[in-house]
């Protein structure tokens, strides 16, 4: 049998480059297959786990946290990086372990506790615990095309404070999408992202906390099944914001009564008219990161023709919509983040 050697992939984002970045929050953002996760995982193994330090592995929702299917480190040469001491990193009861392969049974044996999986959605449940020797965290896919958690940036700050508070740690945030329309760039006012060149690092300092945003180089193009992708244009709206009202409870405790999309130039917002289980109703506005679907109720500032579901401005289509729009005019509305609210009111007032 002839063994075919695998061609080694050289990623544009390297371990050496990532290691040079010094900040409390390090954001790595680019398309897929740039090597962001690989570089961070190698750094975590060499600079933290093998020195007795522990890591937090963060995903957004509880259903993303699984023991059986935990394969985050499967592409790493654990045996080589640990000089033969360990063979893998696995999960058991959400705890992460350096593991050794038992040649007799063919199973991996948990040897040393090196971290834990955390669901950002359950952030409050972790607050009463002490996490000794945790010095590093990684939040994968923090930029999403799905609905973000209510006040998600604040939840991440609270989780980082809970787990890393005893050791001035570092949190890596890895994103495979490059749009600015997410609550982190907006709430943290990472104002230069839209103008930042590839393979450059911008630093921001907020209340003695240092944030680094590495706009990574283009990917190596391993995925041959995609086509027609184009970057969305940005309209140059400033990132300045003022405090805005947020939902008073988790969004899971509301039901959606009505949905519209508000479009202003190239920016889009998803607007949900929600009813809480206690009967209260409120509009909730968040950035829209997915494509507009057919027959979606659309409020826009653009020229429209032949679309019965679209109006130029907040012009009600019927009496029920008129009642719903009354809540907007009377400030019964809240937002996913401060910049969304600031921009919404700016655009709303310019159209009414």
Per residue in 234-260, pLDDT tens?
222 234 568 899 999 999 999 999 999
pLDDT of 213 above 50: yes
- Shared domain for 200 and 294, answered yes or no, is no
Mean pLDDT, range 56-81, rounded to an integer: 93
Mean pLDDT, range 192-197, rounded to an integer: 81
- Shared domain for 142 and 261, answered yes or no, is no
Which of the residue ranges 18-27, 55-64, 73-82, 337-346 would you say has the lowest mean pLDDT?
A: 337-346
pLDDT of 93 reads 95
Above pLDDT 90, what percent of the chain?
61
As to burial, measured by CB atoms within 10 angstroms (0-12 exposed, 13-18 middle, 19+ buried), residue 79 is middle
Tell me if 226 is assigned to some domain. no
Mean pLDDT, range 10-18, rounded to an integer: 89
Mean pLDDT, range 298-316, rounded to an integer: 92
Question: CB–CB of 213/204 below 8 Å?
Answer: yes
Tell me if 345 is assigned to some domain. yes
- Shared domain for 200 and 271, answered yes or no, is no
- Shared domain for 188 and 55, answered yes or no, is yes
Tell me if 269 is assigned to some domain. yes
Quote the domain boundaries for residue 279.
251-351
- Shared domain for 205 and 311, answered yes or no, is no
Tell me if 236 is assigned to some domain. no
Confidence of residue 315 (pLDDT cuts 50, 70, 90): very high
pLDDT of 226 above 80: no
Cα 241 from Cα 231, distance rounded (Å)? 25
pLDDT of 289 reads 79
- DSSP letter string, 304-320: --S-TTEEESS--SSHH
Name the pairing type of β-strands 25-29 and 170-175: parallel
Tell me if 117 is assigned to some domain. yes
Q: Look at residues 193, 215, 237 and tell me which one is the last residue of a structural domain.
A: 215
- Shared domain for 198 and 272, answered yes or no, is no
pLDDT of 134 reads 94
Q: How many CA atoms lie within 13 A of 190 on its CB side?
A: 28
Mean pLDDT, range 127-141, rounded to an integer: 92
pLDDT of 267 reads 84
In the numeric block, which tokens belong to residue 310?
């679209």
Q: Look at residues 215, 238, 260 and tell me which one is the last residue of a structural domain.
A: 215
Q: Show Cβ contacts of residue 61 under 8 Å, excluding neighbours closer than 6 positions.
A: 119, 120, 121
Name the pairing type of β-strands 254-264 and 267-276: antiparallel
- Shared domain for 58 and 156, answered yes or no, is yes
pLDDT of 240 reads 55
Q: Per-residue pLDDT tens for 295-306? A: 999 999 988 888
Angle at Cα 10 formed by Cα 7 and Cα 14, nearest 5°?
Answer: 150
DSSP 75: T
Name the pairing type of β-strands 200-206 and 209-215: antiparallel
pLDDT of 222 above 70: no
Confidence of residue 6 (pLDDT cuts 50, 70, 90): very low
Confidence of residue 9 (pLDDT cuts 50, 70, 90): low
Count: domains in the chain: 2
- Shared domain for 143 and 83, answered yes or no, is yes
- Shared domain for 211 and 270, answered yes or no, is no
For the chain, the helix, strand and coil percentages under 3-state DSSP, each to the nearest 5: 25, 30, 45
Mean pLDDT, range 117-134, rounded to an integer: 93
Q: Look at residues 159, 191, 215 and tell me which one is the last residue of a structural domain.
A: 215
pLDDT of 40 reads 96
- Shared domain for 188 and 110, answered yes or no, is yes
Tell me if 239 is assigned to some domain. no
What CATH number should be reported for the domain holding residue 76? 3.40.50.300
Cα 148 from Cα 30, distance rounded (Å)? 19
Mean pLDDT, range 62-67, rounded to an integer: 92
In order of 22, 261, 269, the CA distances from 297 in angstroms are 46, 6, 12
* Sheet strands (E) in 120-187: 134-140, 170-175
Tell me if 1 is assigned to some domain. no
- Shared domain for 191 and 273, answered yes or no, is no
pLDDT of 159 above 80: yes
Mean pLDDT, range 198-218, rounded to an integer: 92
pLDDT of 8 above 80: no
pLDDT of 173 above 70: yes
Calculate the average pLDDT of the chain: 86
Tell me if 245 is assigned to some domain. no
- Shared domain for 185 and 304, answered yes or no, is no
């Amino acid at each position: 049998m002839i063994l075919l050697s695998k061609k080694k992939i050289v990623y544009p984002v390297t371990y050496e480059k990532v290691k040079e970045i010094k900040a409390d929050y390090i954001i790595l953002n680019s398309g897929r297959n740039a090597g962001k996760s690989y570089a961070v995982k190698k750094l975590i193994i060499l600079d933290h786990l093998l020195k007795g330090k522990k890591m937090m592995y963060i995903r957004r929702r509880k259903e993303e946290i699984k023991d059986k299917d935990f394969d985050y480190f499967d592409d790493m040469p654990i045996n080589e990086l640990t000089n033969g001491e360990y063979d893998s990193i696995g999960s058991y009861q959400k705890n992460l372990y350096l593991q050794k392969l038992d040649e007799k049974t063919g199973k991996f044996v948990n040897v040393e506790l090196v971290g834990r999986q955390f669901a950002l959605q359950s952030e409050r449940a972790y607050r009463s615990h002490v996490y000794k020797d945790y010095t590093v965290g990684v939040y994968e896919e923090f930029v999403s095309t799905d609905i973000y958690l209510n006040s998600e940036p604040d939840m991440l700050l609270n989780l980082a404070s809970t787990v890393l508070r005893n050791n001035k740690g570092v949190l890596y945030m890895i994103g495979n999408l490059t749009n600015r329309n997410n609550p982190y760039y907006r709430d943290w006012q990472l104002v230069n992202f839209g103008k930042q060149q590839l393979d450059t690092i911008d630093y921001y300092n907020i209340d003695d906390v240092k944030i680094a945003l590495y706009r990574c180089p283009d990917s190596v193009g391993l995925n041959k099944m995609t086509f027609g992708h184009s970057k969305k244009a940005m309209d140059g709206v400033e990132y300045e914001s003022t405090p805005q009202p947020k939902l008073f409870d988790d969004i899971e405790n509301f039901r959606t009564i009505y949905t519209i999309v508000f479009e202003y130039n190239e920016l889009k917002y998803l607007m949900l008219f929600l009813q809480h289980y206690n009967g209260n109703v409120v509009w909730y506005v968040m950035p829209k990161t997915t494509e507009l679907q057919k027959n979606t109720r659309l409020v826009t500032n653009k020229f429209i023709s032949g679309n019965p579901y679209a109006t130029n401005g907040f012009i009600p289509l019927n009496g029920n919509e008129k009642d719903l729009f009354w809540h907007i005019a009377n400030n019964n509305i809240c937002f996913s983040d401060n910049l969304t609210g600031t921009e919404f009111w700016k655009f709303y007032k310019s159209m009414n």
